[in-house]
Amino acid sequence: MKLHIMSPAADRVDFKVPPAPRLSSLDGKTIGLYNNLTGGADIAVDWVADRISQRFTNVKFVRYGGDLMPGRPALSRGNHIDEEEAARIAAEVDAMIGATAH
């Protein structure tokens, strides 16, 4: 009998895009909340939005994931944000928080 041991870890991906600059404050900002519909992702972004709302005033949240945006791609773990949709989202929010796994 032969035993094959396989790792569930994904291959490492090195991204060439540097992180966005840190915002000086979240007061008065619009924060995107991305949920790719995996188990618990909605709970995670809701929890983060609640904590941010407790610390900062006048924060607006825009939710992305599923078919929340009429006329836009339905986003899920099977249908990712492409470059065009990423550019549209970037024009709508000051920062983005995402939950993509369970």
**Token reading at 67:** 């078919």
Residue 49's pLDDT is what? 95
Local structure of 85: helix, strand or coil: helix
Q: What is the pLDDT of residues 69-99, one digit of tens each?
A: 777 877 777 777 778 888 888 999 999 988 8
Q: What is the pLDDT of residues 19-74, one digit of tens each?
A: 778 999 999 999 999 888 888 888 889 999 999 999 998 999 998 887 777 778 77
**Token reading at 25:** 């404050």
The answer, yes or no, to whether residue 102 has pLDDT greater than 60, is: no
Q: Which neighbouring-strand residues pair with 75?
A: 66
Sequence-separated (6 or more) residues with CB below 8 Å from residue 74: 66, 67
Question: If residue 63 lies in a helix (H) or strand (E), which one and from where to where?
Answer: strand 60-64
